[in-house]
Structure 1
Amino acid sequence: MKHLESRLTEKNIKPTAMRLVVLDSLIRQSSAQSLTDMELKMERLDRVTLYRTIRTFEENGLVHRIEDGSGITKFALCASGCDIEGHHDLHLHFYCTECRETHCLPKTIIPEIKLPKGYQSLETQLIVKGVCRSCGS
């Protein structure tokens, strides 16, 4: 439990019981989770509190949001380099069309994209869709 508290305090997030439960759940997942996924896995959870917790985590660089084209926003833990200033872990996301899970592939880095003069990037996401290792076997 101390490692969870440390992870929150490193991101300037006050460790509350609910935040510890949500962080522990996210750490245990192998794929990105939607708010509904999280709510179903944690029975005693208030939806509004979960939303606020995830929003706090995102604002402080603990989780990042993934728009995988499924119409459902998903969240996954960030790399250590993310902070309140922004998310700096630009990596590939993979959406499996069979199991409908979204996986972060942090070792596959998105190269810096040079935009024309006058354009300012606020967010970069790259989604590859296909069949994951588990479904393809």
Structure 2
Amino acid sequence: METNRPDYTETLTRHGIRPTAVRLLIYKTALRFHDTFSMSELEDALESVDKSTVFRTLSLFAARHLLHEIEDGSGSTKYCICRNDRPCGIDELHCHFHCEACRKTFCLDYTHIPAVRYPAGFEVRQIDYLLKGLCPDCRAKRHV
């Protein structure tokens, strides 16, 4: 009997990650988040995995380009699933929006980071482009 379920084992392997039961559980749980998530949000969703294992796994996933790390100014690193099967080029990265009211950070998947000119000799490996303001829900609540 054939199923249409994704092969998460193959995904981890393709990224050079040994697919242990805990890593598969953490990856499957991370996929449930539509936008960004914090380590504590992931821990709450997992319940049975200790904090140090979650931290080490998130670090490994980010190092192997399975996740993106986002610094949104909240003091808590956020993560989002990388949709590429290879490291993202600078021109493939997208912007994020941090709502100052509800404190959520949203992926703006189709809003690419604008080209940034920088001096010769520098090697750019990551660009964090963050917009701040009110998300549509919080904006609507303020105008009621």
Q: Please name the residue that 1:110 is paired with.
A: 113
1:95 aligns with 2:131: no
Map 1:115-130 → 2, pairs under 5 A: 115-130=118-133
Q: Please name the residue that 1:25 is paired with.
A: 29
1:16 aligns with 2:27: no
Q: Please name the residue that 1:51 is paired with.
A: 55
Secondary structure of the corresponding residue to residue 43 of structure 2: helix
Aligned partners of 2:24, 2:6: CA distance in 1, in Å? 10
1:6 to 10, 22, 35: 10
Distance 1:16 1:81, change over 3 A: closer
TM-score (norm 1): 0.87
Q: CA offset at residue 70 of structure 1?
A: 0.8
Secondary structure of the corresponding residue to residue 61 of structure 1: coil
Q: Which has the larger radius of gyration?
A: 2
Task: After the TM superposition, list the runs of 4 or more consecutive aligned residues in structure 1 that deviate by more than 4 angstroms.
Answer: none
Alignment check: 8 A CA contact 2:14 2:85 kept: no
CA RMSD of aligned residues (A): 1.7
Q: Deviations over 1:88-119 (max 9, x none)?
A: 23110111112211111121011221112344
Count of residues in correspondence between the two structures: 134
Identity of aligned pairs, percent? Answer: 35
Alignment check: 8 A CA contact 2:37 2:80 kept: yes
Q: CA offset at residue 2 of structure 1?
A: 4.8
TM-score (norm 2): 0.83
Q: CA offset at residue 6 of structure 1?
A: 2.3
1:40 to 40, 44, 50: 44
Secondary structure of the corresponding residue to residue 28 of structure 1: coil
